[in-house]
Amino acid sequence: MKVKTLTMTAILIALSAVGAFIKIPSPTGTVALDSLPGYFAALYLSPGIGAVVAALGHLLSAATAGFPLTLPLHLLVALEMAIFAAIFGILGKKNIPFAVIVATILNGVIAPLSFAVLPKFGMAFFYSMVVPLLFASFINIFLAGLVAGAIQRRMGK
């Protein structure tokens, strides 16, 4: 990895830590602006780097709330975040608006739905988390796409 890419990745992880403290009210207390740098990295650097930054961003946000879902379940969420950021990066190379819609649905609807099948969560968890997650997902993903698109246009990419 080039020094420039490594430095940018470190800065984006640090920005994820800052975003982890900007919370969106939710039952878990882990919904925040932590994934914006990860989604940005997925577009601007690479889907793989974006996946790492997004996963670490979620873990940082969960840590600030005391891992309310337990560490193993937050690791599962971090894996989902990594996958969603990578998908966003791949789709966003061709069509950023479409990528924003897909990633928002994945993170805002599919992620909480994946917990509905777990015995202690069920549909009640889904219903309580879908609105804050949809809102935060859209904000994180839309802003990441906006910034990456603006930088790419400015640099002529």
pLDDT tens digits, residue range 41-92? 999 999 999 999 999 999 999 999 999 999 999 999 999 999 999 999 999 9
Assess whether pLDDT exceeds 70 at residue 157: no
Provide the H-helix boundaries in 20-121.
36-44, 47-64, 71-92, 96-105, 111-116
Per CATH, which fold does 3-155 belong to? Arp2/3 complex 21 kDa subunit ARPC3 (1.10.1760)
How many Å apart are CA 37 and CA 151, to the nearest integer? 14
From the list 115, 111, 112, the residue with the least C-alpha distance to 83 is: 111
Tell me the residue type at 59.
L
- pLDDT of res. 156: 73
- pLDDT of res. 152: 81
Tell me the residue type at 118.
L
How many Å apart are CA 148 and CA 19, to the nearest integer? 17
Element at 141 (helix H, strand E): helix 122-155
pTM: 0.94
Average pLDDT over all residues of the chain? 95
Residue-wise pLDDT tens digits, 111-142 = 999 999 988 899 999 999 999 999 999 999 99
Assess whether pLDDT exceeds 90 at residue 32: yes
**Is the four-CA dihedral 57, 103, 105, 24 of positive or negative sign?**
positive
Q: What residues does each domain of the chain span? A: 3-155
Percentage of the chain exceeding pLDDT 90: 91
> How much is the CA Rg of the chain, to the nearest whole Å?
15
Look at the block and give the residue holding tokens 């609807």.
109
How many Å apart are CA 101 and CA 99, to the nearest integer? 5
